[in-house]
Amino acid sequence: MHSAQRHHFSGYFNCLAGCILSASLMTGTFLAGCTHKSDSSAVKKEPVSLYDRGRIIYVTRCIACHNQDPHQPGSIGPAIYGSSLELITARVMHAGYPPGYKPQRATHIMPPLPDLKGDIPAIYAFLNGKK
Ligand code: HEC
């Protein structure tokens, strides 16, 4: 009777120790998993396509005036889907037009956005559906 009681007692402790141990092991694995994940994403970042970059720039910088869907006219600016690289460059750099281009609007509302110089190829990819 005495020894059976002791066995029961130590069995309880074994279980408790096992639970704590496995819980901390799981925590350890979980943390290691997190660290590993953030490490690998920091090392090899998925490259964002020109198209996706252009879409982000369009949404953040152009839809104040142009339509969220560049096929449609916006609140202020016209539809600009299919714009050529020359047209986008002229508009973004100095709110101009390429030589000989017939503007959709006679207004001069759009400001130049020359800080987007490096993003013109991305805007072009987005506005021409080049994924
Ligand atoms: C402040 C409002 C505004 C913003 C912001 C703006 N545009 Fe415009 N955009 C216009 C207006 C208005 C026109 C029509 C001409 C004018 O009045 O300047 C135009 C014309 C254009 C045209 C020429 C359309 C044509 O065929 O005649 C293109 C291309 C263009 N915008 C591209 C862009 C791009 C790309 C962005 C974002 C990087 C942008 N615009 C941001 C208002 C804006």
The pLDDT of residue 17 is 44
The pLDDT of residue 42 is 55
The pLDDT of residue 45 is 75
Ligand 1 geometric centre to CA of 111 (Å): 8
Model confidence pTM above 0.85: no
Confidence of residue 103 (pLDDT cuts 50, 70, 90): very high
The pLDDT of residue 129 is 98
Residue length of the chain: 131
Domain ranges of the chain: 1-46, 50-127
SS (H, E, C) 21-44: HHHHHHHHHHHHHHHHHHHHHHHC
Residues with CB under 6 A from ligand 1: 61-62, 64-66, 76-78, 80, 83, 87-88, 91-92, 103-105, 107-111, 113, 116, 123
Atom of ligand 1 nearest to the CA of 57: 38
The residue written with tokens 């709110």 in the block is: 95
The predicted-structure confidence for 79-93, as pLDDT tens digits, reads as follows 999 999 999 999 999
Atom of ligand 1 nearest to the CA of 76: 12
**Higher-confidence position of 5 and 55:** 55
What rounded mean pLDDT belongs to the chain? Answer: 80
**Higher-confidence position of 24 and 111:** 111
What superfamily does domain 50-127 belong to in CATH?
Cytochrome c-like domain (1.10.760.10)
Given a cut of 60, is residue 14 above it in pLDDT? no
DSSP the chain: -HHHHHHHHHHHHHHHHHHHHHHHHHHHHHHHHHHHHHHHHHHSPPPPPHHHHHHHHIIIIITTTS-SSTTS--SSS---TT--HHHHHHHHHHS---TT---S-S---PPP-GGGGGGHHHHHHHHTT--
